[in-house]
Structure 1
Amino acid sequence: MSKQPSTPGAGPTWPGLELTPTWPDDPVKVGDFWLDGRVVTRPSGVAWAAHGDGLLHPTRQEETDPDHKVILVQLSEGAAADKAARDRFAGLVNQLHIDVVLARGGHEQDQGRLGRRFRNEDDDPVDPDEDHPLAPWVALAYAGDDGLVRLADDLLAQVDLLDLPHLGRPAGPDFRLHWIDRNRPGTNRIWPLPWPGRYDRAGWVTILVSWLLMLLMAAIAVIIAILVFRNAPPQAPPPQAGQTASPGGTGSATATLSPSPGGTPTATSSPSPSPGDTPSGGGTPTPPSRL
């Protein structure tokens, strides 16, 4: 009988183990394991308490038990980008007992004595920045004590070399790794939540349905725009300079000069008759006076 898939934030309890909450930069999931909290934080990487997702991997045809409690150790951004740090981490993992290493993954972690524990993640959601390889990680099977926490701290300490004693008499500047300040978590896969209540990766059906919905909404918006603007009344052009629109038709104003009592001519305007207008009073229209 298959078990129900586990969910983030609803993992097993960790009695006797001091956990701190995950940070905003921490991934939700690494490989096949949901992260429950931090247990070790060093410049070379982070160790989390984690549990299996309970899902069947489509490529390996292998299911990760949700009851599997692990201490997951992953290199930081700076250590994962350094070839020497990756090699030190891989060599330390290959020296561990095979029963301790439940799974491993990341860049250049499929070689050595425990290369059989490597889990391929090529069919998992991909990070947008594909130029940076996935950060190396290893999942250590938790046996109920804090011995694995000390082991995880020792692994990371041998990668960043900060706890090594001085050899000989100190002279000159201290040795400092060039990536020691880049201590953010390394590159991981992005696990979207495609639907409420679901915690597996989005399939092609979900992506196809989302695209069809987007096209449908765009078509409805175009149709609504056509229906709204097709019956709009036509707009008359604005009158040109020197012309005014008459109520009964099109008329123009003619400016004339007439003498004023003071002897100074003033300009007056009289509308010129339009073709459809008739003069009032029964007389003939007088021509405009001239100065």
Structure 2
Amino acid sequence: MQAQTRKVILQVDHLKQYFPVKTNSLFKPKNYVKAVDDVSFKLYEGETLSIVGESGCGKSTTGRAILRLDEPTSGKVHYSGKNILELNKRDMRKLRGDLQVIFQDPFASLNPRQTVKQILNEAMAIQEVVPKKERLERLLELLSYVGLPPESLSRYPHEFSGGQRQRIGIARALAVDPRLIICDEAVSALDVSIQAQILNLLKKLQRQFGLTFLFISHDLSVVRHISDRVMVMYLGKVVEIAEKKSLFDQSFHPYTQALLSSIPVPNPKLNRDRVILKGDIPSPIDPPKGCRFHTRCPFVMDRCKTEEPELREVKANHFVSCHLV
């Protein structure tokens, strides 16, 4: 995919999400967990941009901040020419029809007291996208899109398997005719065989409805299958962003290289050098000065400890935040 020829559907500029930490002293200054710290990127219409990184890097928080499920500390999120973060509650509710989310745990994200019919009907009623008399037909369409039988409408979430529940979550997102869907670890709670089915379903629906995905995952094998571009985060910062092929063929940041080296190889006879990172991830309350990765980087220089690297384009559509490049 040639991302530069695509229309920008979402632009994130200098997004920050800080969470205050309680202190026991009145005189001690308040600390903050800097979960997302100055993140900027563009998302192009019809593509799948994946955000990857270790647990705690800020990838899920980035998705939640974009949707304002958590109110961001600062920054701008432009969608269709509007800064989402400046909208009032009424305008934001209207916009949620265009911006939907599929959560990691389908059981926790579905109301156990509602049938599938009630769950899907509720989304359409709030957004007023389908007249009441036409909703049953729309419900049956949604079930056919995600591969569930019509009798599913009268059943409750606990009566389904994990993969089926995730299909219900996908149907709920589709119910309001969205343009952009944020998939927050949408397949990580599923068995490997079911993961493949859900990923293929998402790709099919993307082609069918022209959807745009922001896909959040820690599984690089999954990311390689579904992505057009990949953005790597570490400790609240973007360290590398590129087309999928470019990133997997030649990554530049030492952290990205370490992540790629950890992908399991199906051939037991094939030897591959693993990059083992030493030390623990620093605290997001007090992140290191300079490059945040320098405490674990095998190629650290003095400059890395004092000067924060900028995200620079090192080749066509390939951006890296590293002094080594």
Q: Please indicate the TM-score interval, normalised by the length of the shorter structure.
A: under 0.3
Question: RCO (CA 8 Å, sep 6+): is it higher in 1 or 2?
Answer: 2
TM-score, normalised with respect to structure 2: 0.25
TM norm structure 1: 0.27
Structure with the higher fraction of residues in helix conformation = 2
